[in-house]
Structure 1
């Protein structure tokens, strides 16, 4: 038998249902769920937490999809007892992005934790505690020195550039016709290049794709002259200092969340490989990048269905081209914006 529903629960369910219907009506009217101004506001609040001013939590004001400002309390992470051989690491404050279906549906088990005050918020701030495992059997290798990290990174990239997959990708990029001059390449959620103390091939290739895409499009003369010397932008809240050191040496400009969304515009190229948040929903609300490379399956979360807004954007405004198959890249597609 499931949990018993009390009269108070029933009353709350009525309130929840009313909120879900209202949010759906707001969405159906064409109102952006992720507006740039709201993203900017959340970013400013996030900075305060990242600066160490609210490590114990704190009140912040955030705007809901209904246009109303709500004061909500951001809770610090719960520090449970560490597992065997596990040592707590640093605290990282991040933004959680919530898709439309998350905002308009629920399970009965959600009733107790459902917060009416934050129900309209598509973005929330939370914290994660990093941990490291001190079991020598699990992590036998010590971190490599920085110069060795970069040597490994370049070796993986060089090997990829001699592969059949790379040749196939170059053929795809050679035939891409982009309707407007480009100004930047922006990649989000490409993953940490260092996993369990070692440079990871899959994650290196994610970043190699970004830099090679940038250099190929520049070589083809598809960038505005003033923008052709820019470095590709990358953003992933999971990056550690070691990751950042490698990636800066590999000629990337690293952005802090949510700066990538504020930089993204119609003259941008967007790359997103297997993100764990609703990228397509954000993009459909804020701009129409000239070129998109992203994971067709939209991510693993059960709430991440393809919304009508995303579906209309892809079908009506983009031409889809298959991305060459490769075990390290998943089910990627190339979307090129149609000419007006």
Structure 2
């Protein structure tokens, strides 16, 4: 996984010629795939700009759920592979991001601060603090790691649920005397990253947060679209 992360970093810096990358399958065999920058060409006005990502497959996808029409024997046993992807845009979305209404970083900071303040006055906040403090944990926990808690803004629109989830992370972190909080989400925008960093979050790129998770971590992931438990377990 660490090697794929390093390769992904190279690809995101820009690639002018095809690059061959070795992936290892669950059957123990290595598969060499060629990644071509030509595959990052735009798919049309109804899709966002393409980008390189790591695609994660669950054990169920690799062993049970098979679509014969899209079956590829070369990649059939790869639990993760670097590929390109685009996101389909809604009808009212515009590819010209500069013309879209934006939320200022200062405004976003203030909104998130209000959500954190309200969360800390809630009963849920008190209950979680009580449970974590009273829990008998055999190891000393030293960090909180989270994947896919969502961007504070999505397409320049606010979303309360990710804000509450990040406020929850601050609560978990407060239960650890010297622990840091590490977060990763492929949909974070620059404003999200800046605001989260001002609140003490360490914003990581894929797949760094999975490499951070260990037996001394509190892991939080709510309805992520990747097999988080399987990915973390594979590192032990």
Structure 1 length normalisation: TM-score? 0.61
Which residue does 2:195 correspond to in 1?
A: 246
Q: CA deviation at 1:58?
A: 4.0
After TM superposition, the structure 1 stretch with the greater mean CA deviation from structure 2, 39-48 or 57-66, is: 57-66
Q: CA deviation at 1:45?
A: 2.0
Query: Does residue 85 of structure 2 align to residue 128 of structure 1?
Result: yes
- Per-residue CA deviation, residues 303-329 of structure 1 (Å, 9 max, x unaligned), is xxxxxxxxxxxxxxxxxxxxxxxxxxx
Counterpart among 226, 230, 235 of residue 281 in structure 1? 230
Partners of 1:142 and 1:233 lie apart in 2 by 29
**CA distance 1:106–1:156, change in 2 (3 Å):** closer
The within-5 A match list for 1:110-189 is 110-129=67-86, 133-134=93-94, 142-189=101-148
Partners of 2:232 and 2:85 lie apart in 1 by 25
**CA distance 1:250–1:275, change in 2 (3 Å):** same
Structure 2 runs not aligned, ≥5 long: none
Counterpart among 81, 84, 88 of residue 44 in structure 2? 81
Q: CA deviation at 1:89?
A: 4.6
The within-5 A match list for 1:217-232 is 217-218=176-177, 228=178, 230-232=179-181
Q: Would you say the 8 A contact 2:150–2:185 is kept in 1?
A: yes
Structure 1 runs not aligned, ≥5 long: 1-38, 136-140, 219-227, 288-340
Q: Would you say the 8 A contact 1:189–1:235 is kept in 2?
A: yes
Q: CA deviation at 1:187?
A: 0.9
- Name the Cα RMSD after superposition: 2.4
Which residue does 1:190 correspond to in 2?
A: 149
Instruction: Specify the SS of the correspondent of 2:74.
Output: helix
**CA distance 1:91–1:78, change in 2 (3 Å):** closer
Which residue does 1:53 correspond to in 2?
A: 15
Q: Would you say the 8 A contact 1:59–1:72 is kept in 2?
A: yes
Query: Does residue 225 of structure 2 align to residue 263 of structure 1?
Result: no
Q: CA deviation at 1:278?
A: 0.5
Which residue does 2:23 correspond to in 1?
A: 62
Partners of 2:18 and 2:200 lie apart in 1 by 36
Which residue does 1:297 correspond to in 2?
A: none
**Computing the radius of gyration over CA atoms, which structure comes out larger, 1 or 2?**
1
Instruction: Specify the SS of the correspondent of 1:281.
Output: helix
- Per-residue CA deviation, residues 236-261 of structure 1 (Å, 9 max, x unaligned), is 12212121111111211111111112
Q: CA deviation at 1:128?
A: 2.5
Partners of 2:113 and 2:9 lie apart in 1 by 33
**CA distance 1:186–1:164, change in 2 (3 Å):** same
Structure 2 length normalisation: TM-score? 0.86
Q: Would you say the 8 A contact 1:152–1:199 is kept in 2?
A: no
Counterpart among 88, 99, 123 of residue 58 in structure 2? 99
Aligned residues: 228
Instruction: Specify the SS of the correspondent of 2:85.
Output: strand
**CA distance 1:44–1:169, change in 2 (3 Å):** same
- Per-residue CA deviation, residues 188-244 of structure 1 (Å, 9 max, x unaligned), is 1111111231332111111111111111232xxxxxxxxx1x531111122121211
